[in-house]
Amino acid sequence: MEGLSLRKRSTLRPLLVVAALVVFALVAVRITQTSTLAPTPEPGPVSAVEACQLPGSDVKGGGAYQWQLVVRLDSPQESDLVFLSGSNRVVCQAYRGSDGTFDSSSTSVGGFQATAGHVLSYDIGGNSDSTESAQMVGGQVPDGTASVDVITTDGSHHAAAVANGWYLGWAMTTDPTNEVVEIDADDSTGKVIARLADHSGLQAGGSPAPAST
């Protein structure tokens, strides 16, 4: 009887070792699969300029453009920037993700005609991808402009950022049928020195308004 008992015991011990090894292997495989299927996402850039990925600006790749930032407008949802290089213009909208970094952007490239600081123009228009019923308004301003006032059909006034001879703003409206009907360039005293107005609705790319003398 003792011999039988020892034989059973010696047979049981290897089985327990094999079972333990199988469990360990399964756990290791599951950990490997989890780490493979759920990698940590790379955070987006914290700079709106970097997020714009300006075309043709890679010096190592033979980039032909030296873009200069002329005006920008920031909000919690996005940053909007205008860059110039010679007679070329880029308008970039960089969108913030939930972590505060920029996870996407859209750019439009085109040309522009410099006005030498003599007129008020409405060159940049479009709707926001992140905010409903918001219209982008931008262009060049005459010398001496301290602020720009954008007026919509409902009589609301919307301020714009002004820098380096350019302005950029958003006409935030609750009704998508509201149009931009007036854009005023004001001097430091609040006097209107140039005005664009059309009560049926201004369209980007129209004739500029000369500054008053």
Instruction: Pick the closest to residue 164 from 89, 94, 99, 109 (CA basis).
Output: 89
pLDDT-based confidence at 66, cuts 50/70/90? confident
pLDDT band at 172 (very low <50, low <70, confident <90, very high): confident
Residue 29 and residue 72 in one domain: no
* Residues contacting 145, CB < 8 A, separation 6+: 120, 162, 167, 185, 186, 187, 193, 194
Give me the pLDDT at residue 29, please.
47
Query: Does 149 have pLDDT greater than 70?
Result: yes
53 and 32 in a single domain? The answer is no
What SS3 class is residue 29? Answer: helix
Q: Residue 7: pLDDT above 80?
A: no
| pLDDT the model gives residue 80 | 93
Answer yes or no: do 35 and 73 share one domain.
no
63 with 114, same domain: the answer is yes
Centre a 10 Å sphere on the Cβ of residue 198 and count the other Cβ atoms it contains.
14
Whether 60 and 10 map to the same domain: the answer is no
How far apart are alpha carbons 154 and 181 in whole angstroms?
A: 9
| Percent above pLDDT 70 for the chain | 72
What average pLDDT does the chain have?
Answer: 80
The predicted model scores a pTM of: 0.75
Q: What is the pLDDT of residue 162?
A: 97
145 Rama class: left (phi>0) / alpha (psi -120 to 50) / beta: beta
Structurally, how many domains does the chain consist of? 2
Considering the domain architecture, whether residues 70 and 8 belong to the same structural domain is answered as no
In a shared domain, residues 31 and 52: no
pLDDT in tens, 193-209: 999 999 999 999 888 88
pLDDT digits (tens, 9 = 90+) for 74-127: 988 889 999 999 999 999 999 988 888 888 889 999 988 888 789 999 999 877
- Residue 23: the pLDDT is 47
Show the beta-strand stretches assigned E in the chain: 68-74, 78-85, 88-96, 102-111, 119-120, 124-127, 134-140, 147-152, 157-163, 166-172, 180-186, 192-197, 209-210
Query: Are residues 92 and 75 part of one domain?
Result: yes
Q: Which domain holds residue 171?
A: 48-210
* Average pLDDT of the residues in 156-164: 95
Judge if 75 and 28 occupy the same domain.
no
Looking at the structure, do residues 4 and 89 belong to the same domain, yes or no? Answer: no
Judge if 35 and 81 occupy the same domain: no
CA–CA separation, 166 and 161 (whole Å): 8
